[in-house]
Amino acid sequence: MKDLNLYLIRHGQTEWNIKDQMQGSQNSPLTQDGILGAKVTGQHLKNVPFMQAYSSPQQRAMETRDYIIHENDNVIPTFELTDLREMDFGTWEGQHVPMLKKEVPEFNTYLTDPANFDASVNQGENYLEVLSRMKNALTTIVQNAPEQNGNILVVSHGTVLRLLLCVLNGGDWRLHRDEDYFPRMLNTSISVVNYQQSDDQTEGQFSVKFFNNVDHLNQK
């Protein structure tokens, strides 16, 4: 019986987050508050015996992962997984969000109508492409777990985690951008997904224990 808990965490706050700039395939540095959030998250999780720690290969995610595990009482092997990267926003990368809302009609489709968003307008990714690779990422992680039971840290990004967690929680991917339907993922929020697979199953089941928890950040 395989029984794994995946701790899915959004990276710490970055410069582009506070400037309201689109940040997907491109990177901006963690702010001091972002670094503090990662350290506080690590202190909160310091007694969790993680077997492994994954992140996307993007700098903000790797640094957040490393700040978290630095606080841990265990030596934890680290890995980067390309499928965990943030959604690619193409020509919108680095652009100011209020400007895009005002001047680019397709941007509002991206924000409010995922089913009809066509990424050819910005040469980026579509939502279903993102969902597919994020599911692949979790499959890779559970297949490569060194033990049948245990905990694994996974640091990724806001847009991709919101989509993935909405669907794993039984939600409709077409509605995941609706704040009343499913919330946006906050920086250094913690979500826990359990994976169980019995010995006679060819594939197991993911279930969401909780998502977007930031209670630990009150310690900052």
Does residue 106 register a pLDDT over 80? yes
- pLDDT for residue 73: 86
Q: What is the mean pLDDT of residues 148-165?
A: 98
* pLDDT confidence band for 83 (50 / 70 / 90): very high
Q: What is the pTM of this model?
A: 0.97
Q: DSSP labels for the chain?
A: -EEEEEEEEEPPPBHHHHHTB--SSS--PBPHHHHHHHHHHHHHTTTS-EEEEEE-SSHHHHHHHHHHHHTSSS---EEE-GGGSPPP-GGGTT-BHHHHHHH-HHHHHHHH-GGG--GGGTTS--HHHHHHHHHHHHHHHHHT-SSSEEEEEEEE-HHHHHHHHHHHTT--GGGTT-TTTSPPPPTT-EEEEEEEE-TT-SS-EEEEEEEEE-GGGGG-
- pLDDT for residue 18: 98
* pLDDT confidence band for 219 (50 / 70 / 90): confident
| CATH code for the structural domain at 2-195+208-219 | 3.40.50.1240
Q: What is the mean pLDDT of residues 85-92?
A: 98
**Domain ranges in the chain?**
2-195+208-219
